[in-house]
Structure 1
Amino acid sequence: MIEDKAAASRRNFLKAAGVLVATSAVGAKAIAAGQTRVEQSGTTPPKAGDHFDVIVIGGGMAGLTAARDCALRGMKTLVLEARNRIGGRTFTSEYGGKRVELGGTWIHWSQGFVWNEVTRYGLSISETPGAMADTSAWITGGKLKSAPSMELWPKIGEAMAEYCNVDEWGGRLVFPRPYEPFLEREKVRQWDRLSLTERMGQLKLTPEMRDLLNIQFTINCHNDPRKGAFIDMLRWWVLGDSDMALMFDKIARFKIYEGTSALAHAIIGDGDAQLLLSTPVASVSSEGGRNVLTTTRGDHYTADAVICAVPQNVLSSIKFTPGLSQQKMRAAEAGHTGIGVKCYVHIKQKVGKWIGMAPYPNPITQIWTEQERDDGTLLVCFGPPGGLDQNDEEQVQQAVRQLIPGADVVAVMGYEWALDPYSKGTWCWYRPEMFSESLEALRAPEGSIFFASADSATGWRGFIDGAIQSGVESSHAVHEYLNKGKRS
């Protein structure tokens, strides 16, 4: 195993959420480390005390989309982003001369909101080799097995279809129109009571198939599947056309060739919304339709409307006066389950198009080929919380060798999203009953404060598509709110 100062420096750099690696010239503006503002051509940089029609808290995909659409509708718009980069839980970096996505990655043409943005800005698509793996390896009963993927995955697909077939229609009677998730509210509530593990306990499965399904549930909820809600798996299944191969294509195969950061820059560059980086918001005080936002530095900005576009797990870190609804705060304080590990592992061996899997609580849940390289293979690795220290290359090598005996780790890189105070986790997966009890509350505006997040989207919640959907909807709602008096 190779360990050098350069590798250590890269780990520290990524852990500290350093410089954004610019990946495209498509409407982009380079952001240097420590830079605290991005100035749009022809505008005066914002200063403390300035008033805006709308202020957006958070420069992730939801916030950027909301800000662009507000600005394009003629609203004076400001984005306050806590980090020194945009993109939120998407983060394009570089390893060995090639792009890697440290956060949100995959998209699909059936995800209409993000696909519209990709075509709007002329971005292109690449594929993850391991998503169509030739060979699969898995641990079951403490033993390592291997087989051609075409022999294994159809069997997993059959078991998943049985698991999700709660209504003899593959869940489609529970979610007849999945972007309108409460058309069958009582059916949703019925199945929302179960965890992923509890639903599996209702089926007669072999121990091996139980392990193989456990693997899928662990990576999906990015946690112990006993903590994740079954209803979210059912929702993914319906959105994935009730087919394992199609669902996998939609969640883990296709990505933006230029990088998710290229999309983020294109969105914020399209319009005249202003952006301040390294500007965390500490509090929002609302009275008489006027909102005062105070940053952690003590600067104040005012707005007629606010779009709060921070993740669910971060919402409770901002003080709102008056306080937010009890339902909203309960969901924020409980948090979603996505707090696991994602990292990249470079090994000397060439394993081709390969995927490896192990059930909870193994330190690696799934790991597959991200790049086939001249000097080995770059693998993308996912694990549950507390199982893998991505900063300990010796531990990573031991974990990888459980699935690839004799593997030699060259380097490990990743980003610790659960430790980042502005994300406190990865993608969103709800806990049992959170869907029924909290989704509508998390989406609901409170006075002149509106909310946008991938974590509260009605469609592909937890995905880039859901973030953009939420941003589009919140900007429209703010426009309606601010113009209501003008039309009356």
Structure 2
Amino acid sequence: MSNFRQITRRNLIRVGGTAALGAGVAAVARPAAARTRNTKTGPYDAIVIGAGFAGVTAARDLRDLGLRPLVLEANNRIGGRVWTSTHFGTQVELGGAWFHPNYHRTYAEMTRYNLTTVVDAPPTSVYVRTGNSGYQSVDPVVTANRMEQLLTQIFDGSQNYFAQPNQPLFRSDLLASVDPLSLADRMNQLNLTTQDRNLIQGLMATYSGGDAANGGLTALAQWWALCGWNAQGWNQMTSARVNGGITSLVQAILNGAQADVRLSTPVVQIAQANNQITVTTQGGATFTAPVAVVATPVNKWKTITFSPGLPTVHADATNEGVGVRPIAAKMWLRVSGVPGRVFAQGAPGDPIASLVTHQHLSNGDNLMIAINGPGLNVGSLAAVNAAVQQIIPTATVVGKKVQDWANDPYSGGGWGMRKPGQLLRQLPGLHQPHGRITFAGGDMTSGWVGSFEGAIQDGARAASQAAALI
């Protein structure tokens, strides 16, 4: 049953994969007040745009190299697509939170800043759609075993084309035949039964922003490879989370940067000339430095005017998008009338893609996490309640908190999930500097794409590149 808990929770927390983004709200607000000089130009060696994991890691590493970073963040908080907050009287993660034992960089950062982990309890009952007859309670172990078999089939061959998963292009010759495939293409090759398709296609659609045709096979196959090419490793992808909230790790790294931090400061233009970068904000302020690290989501590059313009590969990536859309809302629901700890996996087209109990509240209500499916009005309590009751008829949703990453103005999408063909077409080029600008993020990492592990990795890479340009 613990295996099933790991498989099922994985569907829910990729907001920042993953996607997907302090020790509570107060900690999130503290870096703000940093320094608020209203200066046109400052004594900075580098400007970092974005205060998610990639941005704060880049800033900290630049400081470790003896450089002076300025961090500009569009939002009124740090963290990007991770966001620790408080709702229903308890701490919640509105974005990415859980991680795998193989997140070596994440664990190294936690050790560096003396942070610990916490593990959540498994579900006691599981609901899936059986045929066309609605949701049924099923045996968790039997269902988990079948899920593992299906995942093994889908990712068969990845031990060859991802022989070195942290160097995804190592066997680019073998990738040429699989990188163009979507997850839907791969499932169609397997001649699945209706029951198996309901089980696995709902999972694949959830990862892909609502439609498995949008998600690249190699995107998830690389995760499978990074987990050890087996279900046992895959089942550990939500083995732990940060005690005190994931934003506390972002805050700790940012503290190490000793940076001038400006929140609520969207960037609208990045120009380079005469070996200098000039960054202009929405409010009209300008800042200069020898180099810049752009650590915003790839989806948002197109909202910034670059002069000279972006290279073709970067322009293609931002126009196509990497952060999943159109469905990437993470919902925290306070629900009464739910027996025990529940997990449910939606079928393609269902209004709820995934639903899982996070904890029991003091009055006996369930605090649950859900990912929306197509057509669900996440702003309507009545609509969300009706969708949950399709799965658990005795349930009543009495409250909700929704973070819709797909429509967030500063994310423009959820967790990073490469589309078919993007790995081979874009990864090498995205890692190249554009003049004196480097780019970083979990959307474009070589390793755990769509995760904060990947964001930490890529922030370090971009910082090293930027330092070499000075």
Q: TM-score, normalised by structure 1?
A: 0.87
Matches within 5 A, 1:240-319: 240-250=227-237, 252-319=238-305
Q: CA deviation at 1:182?
A: 0.3
C-alpha separation in 2, matches of 1:245 and 1:424? 33
Question: Is 1:113 the counterpart of 2:129 in the alignment?
Answer: no
Q: Which amino acid aligns with 1:322?
A: P
Larger deviation: 454-463 or 262-271? 262-271
**RMSD after superposition:** 1.9
Q: CA deviation at 1:245?
A: 4.2
Aligned-partner SS, 1:409? strand
Residue deviations 1:109-144, cap 9 Å, x none?
311111111121111212233xx3232110133321
Q: CA deviation at 1:51?
A: 3.9
Question: Is 1:369 the counterpart of 2:357 in the alignment?
Answer: yes
Q: Which of residues 48, 53, 64 is equivalent to 2:56?
A: 64
Q: CA deviation at 1:427?
A: 0.2
Q: Which of residues 382, 389, 392 is equivalent to 2:377?
A: 389
Aligned-partner SS, 1:216? helix
C-alpha separation in 1, matches of 2:164 and 2:28? 41
Number of residue pairs the alignment of both structures matches? 445
Q: Which amino acid aligns with 2:268?
A: A
In the other structure, the counterpart of 2:141 is: 150
C-alpha separation in 2, matches of 1:390 and 1:413? 9
Q: CA deviation at 1:337?
A: 5.4
Q: CA deviation at 1:421?
A: 1.6
- Asked whether the equivalents of residues 279 and 286 of structure 2 are also in contact (C-alpha less than 8 Å), the reply is yes
C-alpha separation in 1, matches of 2:111 and 2:338? 34
Question: Is 1:196 the counterpart of 2:200 in the alignment?
Answer: no
- Asked whether the equivalents of residues 457 and 470 of structure 1 are also in contact (C-alpha less than 8 Å), the reply is yes
Q: 1:283 to 1:37 in 2, by over 3 A?
A: farther
Q: Which amino acid aligns with 1:163?
A: I
In the other structure, the counterpart of 1:172 is: 159
Q: Which amino acid aligns with 2:144?
A: W
Q: Which amino acid aligns with 1:480?
A: A
Question: Is 1:104 the counterpart of 2:91 in the alignment?
Answer: no
Q: Which amino acid aligns with 1:223?
A: G
C-alpha separation in 1, matches of 2:387 and 2:127? 14
C-alpha separation in 1, matches of 2:434 and 2:336? 54
Aligned-partner SS, 2:430? helix
C-alpha separation in 2, matches of 1:80 and 1:180? 31
- Asked whether the equivalents of residues 28 and 77 of structure 2 are also in contact (C-alpha less than 8 Å), the reply is no
Question: Is 1:323 the counterpart of 2:327 in the alignment?
Answer: no
Q: 1:335 to 1:218 in 2, by over 3 A?
A: same
- Asked whether the equivalents of residues 67 and 77 of structure 1 are also in contact (C-alpha less than 8 Å), the reply is yes
Q: CA deviation at 1:338?
A: 1.3
C-alpha separation in 2, matches of 1:230 and 1:476? 31
Residue deviations 1:369-393, cap 9 Å, x none?
1112232111100124x43222211
In the other structure, the counterpart of 1:137 is: 127
C-alpha separation in 1, matches of 2:283 and 2:182? 42
C-alpha separation in 1, matches of 2:42 and 2:322? 35
C-alpha separation in 2, matches of 1:24 and 1:347? 23
Larger deviation: 115-124 or 83-92? 115-124
Residue deviations 1:294-334, cap 9 Å, x none?
11111111010100000011011111000111111011011
Q: CA deviation at 1:353?
A: 2.8
- Asked whether the equivalents of residues 101 and 236 of structure 2 are also in contact (C-alpha less than 8 Å), the reply is no
- Asked whether the equivalents of residues 301 and 318 of structure 2 are also in contact (C-alpha less than 8 Å), the reply is yes
In the other structure, the counterpart of 1:380 is: 369
Q: 1:337 to 1:472 in 2, by over 3 A?
A: closer
C-alpha separation in 2, matches of 1:341 and 1:57? 24
